[in-house]
Chains A and B, each alone.
Chain A
Amino acid sequence: MGTDTCYHCGDNCVQDNIVYDQKNFCCQGCRTVYEIFSSNDLTYYYDLQAAAGASPKITECKYDFLSSEAITDKLVEFQDDDMQIISLYIPHIHCSSCIWILENLNKLHKSIFSSQVDFPKKRIRISYNWQTISLKELVLLLTRIGYEPNISLEDYDQKINKKEYTLIYQLGVAGFAFGNIMFLSFPEYFEVGEFWIEQYKPLFRWLMFFFSLPVVFYAARDYFISAYKGIRSNLLNLDVPIALGISVLFIRSSLEIIFDWGSGFFDSLAGLVFFLLLGKFFQQQTYSFLSFERDYKSYFPVAITRILNDGTEDTVPLHHIKKGDRLLIRNEELIPVDGLLLLGNAKIDYSFVSGESAPVYKEPGDKIYAGGKQLSGAFEMEALKSVPQSYLTRLWGNAIFQKDRTTSFRTLTDRIGKRFTIGVLTIAFTAALFWLFIDSGRLINVFTAVLIIACPCAIALAAPFTLGNMLRIFGHKKFYLKDSQTIERLARVNMAIFDKTGTITTTKKETVSYQGMDLTLAEESLLKNTLRASNHPLSRALYDLLAEHDIVTLDEYQEHIGHGIQGAKEDGQIKIGSATFVGNKSGLANQNTAVHISANDEYKGCFVFHNEYREGISNVFNSMQSNMELAILSGDNAGEKSNLEALVPLGTPLHFNQKPEDKLDFIATQQQKHKRVLMVGDGLNDAGALAQSDVGIAISENINVFSPACDAILDATKLPQLPSYILASKQAMKVIKLSFVLSLLYNVIGLFFAVTGQLEPVIAAILMPLSSISIVAFTTVATHIIGKKLS
């Protein structure tokens, strides 16, 4: 047993150690990839980054559906007489070696014209000659070199999402106009009354006017729309004073130049819109390689093998499955619909659906449900429902998935906006009334000046810049949030609910304890060697946990799928497997997963597997309980109850055997009691709960693989940091409030000029950018300090 690492993928060579070309490989797959690369002079792959590869996992027939033209037509982007272009998502893309090899695919197969990687999105666009290499062959080629693309139902239902460039265009227009107007308005700032200026004043002013037209009618469009919508639904959001400020600025400036009263405020107007849009743009932090909107479609297969009445097989798209169809489910395939098992034995992993970690055995005649994964061999089933009507997929029919949370949540800025608007209008009218009696000629001037100077540019910038910064800081700490609003919701949470399996327990490691009679040395060696031959996940786990023994060749080895394994050597014989298989008469009822052992037909005992809890999980609970309630909801049985109780603070409610709907209902009940709920989960079975909660965080050990729809994705290694992340989001909200105070100060200074009727364009032009820039600087420094504390 060497502990050499594989030259291709970097894993330890535990089972096999293949030496080829003086290099170690952990499996035939890795060796084959190396062979392909070296025979095509592509070994530079290993120079760029050592051990960057992945072992190819080829399941024959998996991509048979790509032979069907109806399906490929839906997947390809472009097709003409000999060229096809396809864009594929490849989760394994992670380093420069990957980019290099994937952009040199044309050396592996001459029918590939070119390929281009989009690293942030983990996608590759390949153009190839489909007359000489079919899509199926192309996908198999990628799979063979360890870059298996992920083709799911989602790609098939392609909703062509047009890229949103509008904001960038608006920003471009505003920036362009802002720069030019600034430079055109400069001569007039100093009012020197020279002949030269007097002569060209109208030209400069009208140029400014024309530059500001696209700013008001295109770049600032969204503010008017949002303000109009707000007023119509009796909401005074912050966009109302902004829209009011912009229109007053534009109208007053236009009147000023028409009647030659002054030069207008076009520079402030363009600057204001530019800064506002900059804030908006800054807030848009997207993690393009992550998806927060996933549902079952992302990992259901595109097509499934159907068995016709005459015994032939064909491939049908998932949507075409009708009640009564006979389907063939292969090893490692997902069951797409609820149905009856007809032929063969099924061992189904329902962890995606129920959170139950142990696989379930089914025999012909049993009902099986969509979402389970077949773990051993192939079986035939009869569909009893269509895909949308199946038990798992019905969950997405729940109204909670149609609700857009962003519209129902009122942000801090919106709540401030209402008071602010009322305040500004009050001041404007009071000042106008005052001047009505003193000097009615100045009335309009003062009234508009108040609206202009109080335009809450700085207030509107505080939240986007703070939250945008926080999003980026969290992203560096492997906590990926869907949008900036999530931070605000996270700061207000007062109850946290955790799922058990896969969330607070690891999916990788399990601890094992032995209960029963001691085994002799010969029996132990036999046990270890019998396990060596088996590929069952429990056997593998147990094998890794047992002490080292010399490798011996067994005289006899049999695997009984779904029951257990048996091995014999010279005089010893051993059976490993389920209680009934090894003949456990004691009827020891254990709710945990267990592997029973009998030697020479005498029952010895069993190895009981326990969930391994993530490190630091009890610290997470202890630090969170001080300021919020906790609860555990698990889809698993109560076998772990005693272990769990030791970890959580006393009196924390633990609920077991929770179905996906139960979790959703539990959260809804808590919300009716005015709890703001944080849900932490990991699987599809938590999807409903994650959607129902105020903030849903998905824990993921590999963020590229799968996570259900949620508000945030947290890398599993960072779970112990969760309390400090919540604290940081609370601090971020404090920063926003401080910024509000700061920008109100600026407004007070500006209002002094406005109310006394001495607001000159040059003052507005200085005050506006100054307030905006200082707010941005303050929030940047403050969030940076918060980020420093996080590490």
Chain B
Amino acid sequence: MSVIYVLLTISIVVAVVFFTAFIFSVKNGQYDDTYTPSVRMLFEDELVKAAPEPESKKLNQPKENNQ
């Protein structure tokens, strides 16, 4: 039955990983603006006659922490 130790350890480690991920995302300001990204993702890559600008660049740019 000592497998219970292994299982407990695994479950707690997984929980801690999620917990730190949560703390990290809050610290990073990912919850500061929850509206704009939802609009941003709906923009079409409109026709560009000039030099092509990778429009999708903005979507996966890491957010800097500006607080």
Chain A contact residues, CB within 8 Å of chain B: 40-41, 44, 47-48, 77, 85, 87, 96, 99-100, 103, 106-107, 114, 116-121, 125, 162-163, 165, 168-169, 172-173, 176, 179-180, 196, 199-200, 203, 207
A203–B50 CA distance with the chains assembled, in angstroms: 67
Query: Are B27 and A165 in contact, with the CB atoms below 8 A?
Result: yes
Query: Within 8 Å CB of A120, what residues of B?
Result: 33-36
A173–B16 CA distance with the chains assembled, in angstroms: 10
Query: Are B27 and A179 in contact, with the CB atoms below 8 A?
Result: no
Contact of A207 among B8, B44, B61 (CB under 8 A): B8
A121–B67 CA distance with the chains assembled, in angstroms: 13
Of A48, A114, A163, A199, most buried by chain B (CB within 10 Å of CB) is A163
A203–B9 CA distance with the chains assembled, in angstroms: 12
Query: Are A99 and B50 in contact, with the CB atoms below 8 A?
Result: no
A100–B31 CA distance with the chains assembled, in angstroms: 21
Contact of A41 among B22, B26, B36, B49 (CB under 8 A): B49
Residue of chain A at shortest CB distance from B29: A163
A244–B34 CA distance with the chains assembled, in angstroms: 38
Query: Are B50 and A172 in contact, with the CB atoms below 8 A?
Result: no
A347–B18 CA distance with the chains assembled, in angstroms: 64
Query: Within 8 Å CB of B8, what residues of A?
Result: 203, 207
Query: Are A172 and B67 in contact, with the CB atoms below 8 A?
Result: no
Q: A119-B33, A121-B33, A196-B1 are in contact. Are A107 and B53 (CB under 8 A)?
A: yes
Query: Are A44 and B44 in contact, with the CB atoms below 8 A?
Result: yes
Query: Are A96 and B42 in contact, with the CB atoms below 8 A?
Result: yes
Query: Within 8 Å CB of B5, what residues of A?
Result: 203
Q: A103-B58, A106-B53, A179-B15 are in contact. Are A168 and B26 (CB under 8 A)?
A: yes
Cβ of B6 within 8 Å of any chain A Cβ, yes or no, is: no
Query: Within 8 Å CB of B33, what residues of A?
Result: 118-121
Q: A40-B50, A165-B26, A179-B15 are in contact. Are A87 and B44 (CB under 8 A)?
A: no
A179–B46 CA distance with the chains assembled, in angstroms: 47
Residue of chain A at shortest CB distance from B22: A172
Query: Are B15 and A180 in contact, with the CB atoms below 8 A?
Result: yes
Q: Separation in Å of the B61 CB from the closest CB of chain A?
A: 7
Query: Are A87 and B26 in contact, with the CB atoms below 8 A?
Result: no
Contact of B48 among A41, A48, A77, A106 (CB under 8 A): A41
A163–B47 CA distance with the chains assembled, in angstroms: 39
Q: Separation in Å of the B6 CB from the closest CB of chain A?
A: 13
A125–B36 CA distance with the chains assembled, in angstroms: 13
Query: Are A99 and B39 in contact, with the CB atoms below 8 A?
Result: yes
A2–B35 CA distance with the chains assembled, in angstroms: 39
Q: Separation in Å of the A581 CB from the closest CB of chain B?
A: 53
Q: Separation in Å of the B22 CB from the closest CB of chain A?
A: 5
Residue of chain B at shortest CB distance from A100: B43
Query: Are B26 and A172 in contact, with the CB atoms below 8 A?
Result: yes
A99–B8 CA distance with the chains assembled, in angstroms: 48
17 A-B contacts, Cβ less than 8 Å apart? A41-B48, A44-B44, A44-B46, A48-B43, A77-B66, A99-B36, A107-B50, A120-B33, A120-B34, A121-B33, A163-B32, A163-B67, A165-B26, A169-B23, A199-B1, A200-B4, A203-B5
Q: A40-B50, A41-B48, A196-B1 are in contact. Are A103 and B40 (CB under 8 A)?
A: yes
Contact of B36 among A118, A165, A179, A180 (CB under 8 A): A118
Q: Separation in Å of the A184 CB from the closest CB of chain B?
A: 8
Query: Within 8 Å CB of A207, what residues of B?
Result: 8, 12
A-B contact count, CB below 8 Å? 71
Q: Separation in Å of the B52 CB from the closest CB of chain A?
A: 11
Residue of chain B at shortest CB distance from A103: B58
A48–B42 CA distance with the chains assembled, in angstroms: 10
Q: Separation in Å of the B29 CB from the closest CB of chain A?
A: 8
A171–B63 CA distance with the chains assembled, in angstroms: 24
Contact of B39 among A96, A162, A176, A179 (CB under 8 A): A96
Q: A40-B50, A172-B23 are in contact. Are A180 and B42 (CB under 8 A)?
A: no
Q: Which 8 A-B pairs have the closest CB atoms?
A: A44-B46, A119-B36, A163-B67, A118-B33, A176-B19, A96-B39, A119-B35, A168-B26
A114–B62 CA distance with the chains assembled, in angstroms: 12
Other 10 A-B pairs with CB < 8 A, given A44-B44, A203-B8: A40-B50, A41-B47, A99-B40, A118-B33, A120-B33, A163-B29, A168-B26, A176-B15, A176-B19, A207-B12
Query: Within 8 Å CB of A47, what residues of B?
Result: 46
A107–B49 CA distance with the chains assembled, in angstroms: 12
A163–B40 CA distance with the chains assembled, in angstroms: 24
A200–B23 CA distance with the chains assembled, in angstroms: 32
A790–B29 CA distance with the chains assembled, in angstroms: 36
Query: Within 8 Å CB of A165, what residues of B?
Result: 26-27
Q: Separation in Å of the A206 CB from the closest CB of chain B?
A: 12
A385–B26 CA distance with the chains assembled, in angstroms: 47
Q: Separation in Å of the A263 CB from the closest CB of chain B?
A: 16
Q: Separation in Å of the A573 CB from the closest CB of chain B?
A: 57
Query: Within 8 Å CB of B27, what residues of A?
Result: 165
Residue of chain B at shortest CB distance from A39: B50
Query: Are B58 and A87 in contact, with the CB atoms below 8 A?
Result: no
A32–B60 CA distance with the chains assembled, in angstroms: 33
Q: Separation in Å of the B65 CB from the closest CB of chain A?
A: 10
Residue of chain A at shortest CB distance from B5: A203
A41–B49 CA distance with the chains assembled, in angstroms: 7
Query: Within 8 Å CB of B44, what residues of A?
Result: 44
Of A103, A162, A199, A207, most buried by chain B (CB within 10 Å of CB) is A103
Residue of chain A at shortest CB distance from B34: A120
Query: Within 8 Å CB of B58, what residues of A?
Result: 103, 114, 116
Q: Separation in Å of the B33 CB from the closest CB of chain A?
A: 5
Query: Within 8 Å CB of A173, what residues of B?
Result: 19
Query: Within 8 Å CB of A114, what residues of B?
Result: 58, 61
Residue of chain A at shortest CB distance from B63: A116
A196–B1 CA distance with the chains assembled, in angstroms: 8
Residue of chain B at shortest CB distance from A106: B53
Query: Are A169 and B36 in contact, with the CB atoms below 8 A?
Result: no
Query: Within 8 Å CB of A106, what residues of B?
Result: 53
Q: Separation in Å of the A673 CB from the closest CB of chain B?
A: 46
Query: Within 8 Å CB of A169, what residues of B?
Result: 23, 26
A40–B22 CA distance with the chains assembled, in angstroms: 41
Residue of chain B at shortest CB distance from A207: B8
Q: Separation in Å of the A147 CB from the closest CB of chain B?
A: 15
Residue of chain B at shortest CB distance from A180: B15
Query: Are A87 and B46 in contact, with the CB atoms below 8 A?
Result: no
A470–B32 CA distance with the chains assembled, in angstroms: 23
Residue of chain A at shortest CB distance from B45: A44
A200–B5 CA distance with the chains assembled, in angstroms: 10
Query: Are A87 and B66 in contact, with the CB atoms below 8 A?
Result: yes
Query: Within 8 Å CB of A103, what residues of B?
Result: 40, 58
Residue of chain B at shortest CB distance from A184: B8
A121–B66 CA distance with the chains assembled, in angstroms: 14
A493–B11 CA distance with the chains assembled, in angstroms: 54
Residue of chain B at shortest CB distance from A47: B46
Q: Separation in Å of the B60 CB from the closest CB of chain A?
A: 13
Query: Within 8 Å CB of B66, what residues of A?
Result: 77, 85, 87, 125
Q: Separation in Å of the B42 CB from the closest CB of chain A?
A: 7
Query: Are B36 and A117 in contact, with the CB atoms below 8 A?
Result: yes
Query: Within 8 Å CB of B46, what residues of A?
Result: 41, 44, 47
Q: Separation in Å of the B50 CB from the closest CB of chain A?
A: 6
A199–B1 CA distance with the chains assembled, in angstroms: 10
A682–B46 CA distance with the chains assembled, in angstroms: 43
Query: Within 8 Å CB of B19, what residues of A?
Result: 172-173, 176
Query: Are A119 and B39 in contact, with the CB atoms below 8 A?
Result: yes
Q: Separation in Å of the B3 CB from the closest CB of chain A?
A: 11
Contact of A180 among B12, B22, B23, B32 (CB under 8 A): B12
A99–B48 CA distance with the chains assembled, in angstroms: 18
A116–B48 CA distance with the chains assembled, in angstroms: 20
A120–B34 CA distance with the chains assembled, in angstroms: 8
